[in-house]
Structure 1
């Protein structure tokens, strides 16, 4: 049965505007209108990339085809990710009527050991450069999804990205990010040659609107398409031909040049590392919340933290508290802190030992026990991991580690710092008005806001739904040789000390626990919501609130994608900084929207919170809502960045 009527190959492009939409409980004036579609929806972090998805839909492709085209286009546009990064996806398969998970995260290379990095003086692996890289996952993940669930050829899906690699009008955000990061870019010869197109001039990066050409990347993508087409000409089927392109990337001449270029610049990745890596199709994790089944990726991501948070919040009447009241903010903050404390300690690669106690962590009984520890009157700065093992009938083998670990978290005055995630940096320097938002948001803020990840959302008339949170290889990126491929920086999400997490200690061949976390929700066994966001450790915080905005407060997906969120910094950071003090939790540090009423701020201060304010705190979230009553699609695309959607 088709969820929607037959696809029509024309598009409606959505422009930013102001409109008012009513909802059941809550209404707000949105800065973008919602997207409406009957046949398909394509939403991602860049306008040109959304157009790439629309082109594939126009050509008769399904949502997987369109999502792969958007993924390829965003990788080619650089500043939020690139081709050497990682891809993680949830796909609703209408033929099987189930959600499947794609794990296309790279692994630590040969030689990436605790001793190796500690000998260099690191407490965490580095943020940038060839030593920050896991093996590329995105090319393999794209090929796997397309081969198994798409309908188009790799040549068709990569065509928009290849046209862009041949030259596209670069956007101001990316061009200016290159200019700001040029000192680091100059450390890497291949990056310097690609990005600094005006070497020796005052501005060495491309100018906004200038045609930006990437011949090496174009050649790499061309080689992949050539491998596919050669296989087709030899009589191979579509799937086998696409995987021939995969093989050329991971085992052929592309792999050889990638490894050569990486090693030349001090990297560790070997040909064997590339040849041995492969994407994995998995069963996702899920919980039920008020009749809605919420799906996330396994514990190699932080996704289960949202599921844990929802389980905890089942024990409270959120509607009675009121949207973003002081009590609601406090309850959310405490629930998220409990879930993230478990994330920090227990999550890691499920294909390595030890195995995380996910059955206990996701049980309702464990969540109820955790909920009962919340003090309704004040923040608990000492929140640490719980003990889920009794809830799966076993004994915690790490109790002694947990006892020692508690001493690392010292909620002293030194920890009560104004700390906001990099993508939400806004300083409040006016002592006379400590809660007044700075008048202007500088370019560095925007650069950090958009750094490092994007989201891809697609749905079609047949019922295919795709939610992806790709990342890695963001600017300033180290390019591996003459491939045009930027290397991932995801190795920094490992830890070097089992005291922080015995499940996420670096080993060759192991995947780091990442922040990247797409989401899908089903209602009555049919697609209900598909949603994802960028933003490091804040991703599942923002996605949790988006979901509650829709389910508890009746917002449309556009209202929910723009709505004011909170962020907690009482967690171990997954990115940035190579010292323990750079990553430690900041107890009571709370980001609020600048429009938060004074009385709410004042009450939260009495509850032990240190307040920072942000102008827009919604994500940026991209989402699709499936209107079962009218058999139509609603799209939401945040006003927080460059995110953009097209529907028909």
Structure 2
């Protein structure tokens, strides 16, 4: 009887989530869907759809709005996107990641005592990517004018009631903000008072940013008056940002505060269209951006997991959690050593890393009795017919795995001694996401980021600079493909996702949260595909997080970034029997009510000709469908 009761409890715990009532309703629509990190930004998407825009137009309007609202990003950050083009029936990848500026060398940063580039300030900044990425997507795949698409953001810059999340981030970061005169002017309108940042609900005005956005629209209008095409007029605004008066003020303001970015750096940068990487998981084609992001790590994990019967293990059973953890640890070990800018040498061994044969070899390393604390990078080179030139380097890696406790929160906006409430806020913060789809078949998934609070604003532009330089390494022993170099892109955590089934859109999804992004997206995908959850259930479901990886963000010392083998974050409701089994396997358990950043996703219901939208309950993310 005792064994039967235990079995029933276990079964109940396994099947309860797919059947549960969600905290937020599923979104339904037949014409369009717009989901992003802020309610007002979702409204910007809805407004743009109502103007007759397509999913690309709406995504660009939402991207502009989230940047203007400081939803853990600014206009000086970076954008990466996947777009499904219904005309070609192909997925397009947009690379709008900025580059390391002139003078950003290993010797420069080591000369300042860093083991990694800094987290904040002008020396953390790559060149801005988001403005160029937005205008490239709009010019090539949208239908509306830049003026129409930027209209909501311009209204927001003129003044909007700021929400508590952004306002409180400004207040917490005010001592750092005061180091930067242009940031202080924008973020601390009540200098000298007890609270120097805006209050929640206060009308937050950004005059300099309003002027910058207006200049972009003016450049477009002037080009149209000269008879330029819609596309060329949008690119005239692009030229003004990267080569004109906006660029000059951005560079002046950056260099005045100690930054390295030059006019040449801005002029030579451009967004790129590229082929996404893809693997097939049980008949579903899953797409990610190339290895300058961490996106392929999810594809590697799927290849490994395809060797196991996950459904029969049961959702979040001890065996399932263990298998997930081991698979992610194997994939992240490869990410940490082999991923980097695909446009600069050396060439990453992606064919081998994404091969099914390599995944099968890695899957064979998983045992069910304990966590493997010594997992390291594998050798994918034989799987593309080559010899690994980095075997000596791998053998000489002198860093030991540190098993002491590490904070699971993303380090964006991190403060020592902060309260539990602030910790929770940081756990939800990170990259934002933008998901759109329309009845014509266009689908967009974006994970923009960079320039999060406390941000250093470049001069009188109102544009906060990126902090993505910190994702480079200064030591080739850590990753020979991701060593900082002028003109190079850092290997980032930002990772939009898209899946096609039978040649048609199946899922479009993305999430906030640094190194946890592909952990959470992997589980979201499996929740839908293996456990039959709808997108809202899958976005709210309990996930696990692992820290058995090298951190991509936060801390300028090697010890700040080291992996924590066996450390696992579980949801508070994890059953006692599952906890006990995991402890026996050598895991160190941590618990929280929320174990994921906000996941946003769209499911394509071809049977009924409609969209299902999911928007996580873990932040301020919001969706509107019609």
**Smaller-chain TM-score bracket:** over 0.9
Cross-structure match for 1:7: none
Alpha carbons 2:34, 2:435 under 8 Å: kept = yes
When residues 511 and 418 of structure 1 are mapped into structure 2, their CA distance, relative to the original with a 3 A threshold, is closer
> For 2:240 and 2:65, how far apart are their aligned partners in 1?
20
Correspondence for 1:532 among 506, 510, 532: 510
1:289-320 Cα distance to aligned partner (Å, 9 max, x none): 01100000000000000000000001000011
TM-score w.r.t. structure 2 length?
0.96
> For 1:222 and 1:602, how far apart are their aligned partners in 2?
59
SS in 1 for 2:139: helix
Alpha carbons 1:360, 1:389 under 8 Å: kept = yes
SS in 2 for 1:375: coil
Alpha carbons 1:424, 1:614 under 8 Å: kept = no
Cross-structure match for 2:423: 445
SS in 2 for 1:101: strand
Structure 2 residue runs without a partner (length 5+): 1-14
Cross-structure match for 2:440: 462
Shift of 1:419: 3.5
1:637 aligns with 2:625: no
1:421 aligns with 2:409: yes
1:409 aligns with 2:397: no
1:395 aligns with 2:387: yes
Alpha carbons 1:416, 1:587 under 8 Å: kept = no
SS in 2 for 1:102: strand
When residues 418 and 450 of structure 1 are mapped into structure 2, their CA distance, relative to the original with a 3 A threshold, is closer
> For 1:74 and 1:226, how far apart are their aligned partners in 2?
22
1:310 aligns with 2:302: yes
SS in 2 for 1:260: helix
When residues 79 and 185 of structure 1 are mapped into structure 2, their CA distance, relative to the original with a 3 A threshold, is farther
1:593 aligns with 2:593: no
Cross-structure match for 2:24: 32
Structure 1 residue runs without a partner (length 5+): 1-22, 430-439
Shift of 1:25: 9.5
Alpha carbons 1:452, 1:473 under 8 Å: kept = no
When residues 508 and 424 of structure 1 are mapped into structure 2, their CA distance, relative to the original with a 3 A threshold, is closer
Alignment of 1:183-262 (within 5 A): 183-262=175-254
SS in 2 for 1:103: strand
Q: How many residue pairs end up in the alignment?
A: 610
Correspondence for 1:340 among 314, 320, 332: 332
Shift of 1:620: 1.0
Alpha carbons 1:423, 1:535 under 8 Å: kept = no
Cross-structure match for 1:292: 284
Alpha carbons 2:119, 2:467 under 8 Å: kept = yes
Alpha carbons 2:169, 2:413 under 8 Å: kept = no
Cross-structure match for 1:5: none
> For 1:368 and 1:290, how far apart are their aligned partners in 2?
15
Cross-structure match for 2:89: 97
Alignment of 1:142-157 (within 5 A): 142-157=134-149
> For 2:53 and 2:202, how far apart are their aligned partners in 1?
31
Correspondence for 1:522 among 493, 497, 500: 500
Cross-structure match for 1:75: 67
SS in 1 for 2:358: helix
Shift of 1:423: 7.1
Alpha carbons 1:416, 1:588 under 8 Å: kept = no
Alpha carbons 1:618, 1:638 under 8 Å: kept = no
Correspondence for 2:258 among 247, 260, 266: 266
Shift of 1:443: 3.2
1:482-519 Cα distance to aligned partner (Å, 9 max, x none): 00000000000000000000000000000000000000
Cross-structure match for 1:557: 535
1:175 aligns with 2:167: yes
1:357 aligns with 2:349: yes
When residues 441 and 27 of structure 1 are mapped into structure 2, their CA distance, relative to the original with a 3 A threshold, is farther
Cross-structure match for 2:473: 495
TM-score w.r.t. structure 1 length?
0.93
Cross-structure match for 1:610: 588
> For 2:545 and 2:424, how far apart are their aligned partners in 1?
18
Cross-structure match for 1:12: none
Alpha carbons 2:413, 2:453 under 8 Å: kept = no
1:60-93 Cα distance to aligned partner (Å, 9 max, x none): 0000000000000000011410100000000000
The runs of 4+ residues in structure 1 deviating greater than 4 Å are 423-426
Cross-structure match for 2:11: none
> For 1:250 and 1:444, how far apart are their aligned partners in 2?
37
Alpha carbons 1:24, 1:553 under 8 Å: kept = no
Alpha carbons 1:424, 1:449 under 8 Å: kept = no
The root-mean-square deviation of aligned C-alpha atoms, in Å, is 1.6
> For 1:266 and 1:480, how far apart are their aligned partners in 2?
11
> For 1:135 and 1:194, how far apart are their aligned partners in 2?
21
Alpha carbons 1:54, 1:646 under 8 Å: kept = yes
Alpha carbons 1:289, 1:310 under 8 Å: kept = yes
Cross-structure match for 1:18: none
Alpha carbons 1:424, 1:445 under 8 Å: kept = no
Correspondence for 1:166 among 144, 158, 167: 158
> For 1:294 and 1:118, how far apart are their aligned partners in 2?
39
